[in-house]
A and B are shown apart, each in its own frame.
Chain A
Amino acid sequence: MSDQPMVLADRVSKSFGTNRVLRSISLKVDPGEVLCIVGPSGSGKSTFLRCINHLDRVDAGRLSVEGQLVGYREKAGKLYELKPKEAAYQRRDIGMVFQRFNLFPHLTALENIILAPMKVKGTSKADASAKALELMDRVGLADKANEYPAHLSGGQQQRVAIARALAMEPKLMLFDEPTSALDPELVGEVLDVMKELARSGMTMIVVTHEMGFAREVANSLVFMDGGVVVESGNPREVLTNPQHERTKAFLSKVL
């Protein structure tokens, strides 16, 4: 089991109409690994994350999570599309955190966190709430359980969103630019939570522009541009000594 990669992408491609957004992406993420994806806007980073979660479907190649094909079932050499229920079942083990938080505004922080465990896993309200309070404590928001999202700062909202994803006890966490929508002084508190999560052994794929975070926390770094993986490797090496012109050009802009 443990020698199986958490995420394996083998020549994954994806188009929106004639726009080829992902072109033959291949990469591997092992359990416990933290992978950072960087790249310019429109390079397909979000799309790749969404494909891992089957919020978008891939057109070509094979994408699997824990050895299971995402969104399809292979039988006798043929691929069958999964029913919505089966696709939803696959997502139970994958948490996702969005750039714009996407908390449910009509629910309190606590209600945001307990909704999916109760409705999807059938956890009792008492158990889900106890677990949620633990998670809120872990992200440093123990006193905000009954606040509505509108009453929380951006950094607090994002930490609730992380707790909400963790409440489903995922094996893999996807972060799509989790700090890009935050005021600079709020970035640190979210990154701290993510660092703690990485230390606890969570497998994470993080799309980010925070090079400091990538350098400190990531085991590997991928630079994407125009839907292809231009360069990948150890984050310190890629960041200090990029091999490709495009990587150099991008890093000179963000560093």
Chain B
Amino acid sequence: MTPRDPGRTGAAEAEPLAAGQEGEAIKAIPLRHPWRNLAAVILVLMLAVFIIDAAQREDYGWADVGKYIFDKRISAAALVTLQLTVYAMVIAIVLGLVLAIMRLSPNPVLKSIAWLYIWIFRGTPVYVQLVFWGIMALIYPVITIGIPFTTPWISIPNGVFTNLFITAVIGLGLNEASYMSEIVRAGLLAVDRGQEEASRALAMSWGQTMRYVVVPQAMRVIIPPTGNEIISMLKTTSLVAAIPLSIDLYGVSRGISAVTFTPVPLLIVASLWYLLFTSILMVGQYFIEKRFSRGSGQRRAAKPSSFAGVGTTAAVTEAPTGNEPGGKG
């Protein structure tokens, strides 16, 4: 371009663009991706072969799948699975909130107890925990109320842990609470400290500050992983066989197949029901996430996170808080 650069004369001689004249449109040949295309073709072919083969294979028992998919026993069991999920998650969310607040409290005793709880329940397999809860009625046959090591005032047979459904709910809920508490804690910590300060300066109490200011903002961070936890819980309920409870979706499918000697079709039936529920949950999660990104996420609202429920946390936490200085709005 410069006169001292004789090799670039071509550029230097180029006519300056006339006003209003547009640059020439780019008509480049797009880059090809032959390996990508080949891989896609191979995968599609493999899938097709698998489906055609599966449709013909005796073991899948497609006729039985059709027969049992709407069986009364199966749909009743599906309801039990839903109930286990809902009750266990309610326990987990409430207890998780309590544990999270305990961990954030300045009281070292409360903090340590919450930490110990989380350490134990996250550090052991849920299957093992469920077996433990199952034999709880044998360890504590009676529940007594009174002063320790003296004659109890009241002694009642342990009815809680002889009811296997309640045992399962408690076992699943207590385990899940340890995970939920970490999720809630992360959510509470993600809210800017200035928010709490502004709320207190407006004479709002701690409870009001939590309820109207901190928790609603923490929700944006808490909800996506909680959705994942619910979906995960729905599947984890199949482990209640460890208690042993066998009235849930998986337990009943196994029960039927033990009689009919057709395990595969019943596994497929159970899987389809699980898939139905998880799909519904994913759609629900998508809409709830959209609802809670109100206000802060407005500028990004045009591109809500996908309802696959994966990797949405980052997108949500990065959303602007609306408190950045300097009129960026």
Binding site for B on A (CB under 8 A): 53, 55, 84-85, 88-89, 91-92, 94-96, 98-108, 115-116, 119-120, 148-157, 161, 164-165, 168, 180-183, 186
Instruction: Report A-chain residues with C-beta under 8 Å of the C-beta of B321.
Output: 105
Contacts A84-B205, A103-B322, A148-B322 known; A154 to B197 CB distance under 8 Å?
no
- Chain B residues in contact with chain A, CB under 8 A? 192, 194-195, 197-206, 208, 212-213, 216-217, 294-296, 298-299, 320-323, 325-329
Q: Are A92 and B203 in contact (CB under 8 A)?
A: yes
Chain A residues with CB under 8 A of B208: 119-120
Q: Given A148-B298, A149-B295, does the pair A120, B204 have CB atoms closer than 8 Å?
A: yes
In the complex, what's the smallest C-beta–C-beta distance from A36 to chain B, in angstroms? 20
- Excluding A89-B203, A182-B327, 16 further A-B contacts by CB distance (< 8 Å) are A55-B197, A96-B201, A100-B323, A101-B325, A102-B194, A102-B198, A104-B198, A105-B295, A108-B295, A116-B203, A119-B204, A151-B298, A154-B329, A157-B329, A161-B198, A182-B325
Top 5 closest A-B pairs, CB basis? A181-B325, A105-B322, A154-B327, A153-B327, A102-B198
Cβ contacts under 8 Å, B294 to chain A: 106, 148
Given A104-B195, A164-B202, A168-B203, also A183-B295 (CB < 8 A)? no
Task: Give complex CA distance A106, B198 in Å.
Answer: 14
Alpha-carbon gap, A161 to B329, bound state (A): 15
The distance from the CB of B279 to the nearest CB of chain A, in whole angstroms, is 29
Q: Quote the shortest CB–CB distance from A18 to chain B (angstroms).
A: 20
Q: Are A150 and B325 in contact (CB under 8 A)?
A: no
Minimum C-beta distance from B283 to chain A (A): 24
Known: A102-B197, A106-B217. A150 touches B203 (CB 8 A): no
What is the CA–CA distance of A158 and B201 in the complex, to the nearest angstrom?
Answer: 15
Q: Contact at B212–A55, with CB atoms within 8 Å?
A: no
Distance A98 CA – B328 CA, assembled complex (angstroms) = 17
User: Are B295 and A53 in contact (CB-based, < 8 A)?
Assistant: no
Pairs across A and B, CB under 8 Å, 21 listed: A55-B197, A55-B200, A84-B206, A88-B203, A88-B204, A91-B200, A91-B203, A94-B201, A98-B194, A99-B325, A100-B194, A108-B295, A115-B204, A120-B203, A154-B325, A155-B327, A157-B329, A165-B201, A168-B202, A182-B326, A182-B327
Contact A88 B323 (CB under 8 A): no
How distant is the Cα of A53 from the Cα of B299 in the complex, in angstroms?
35
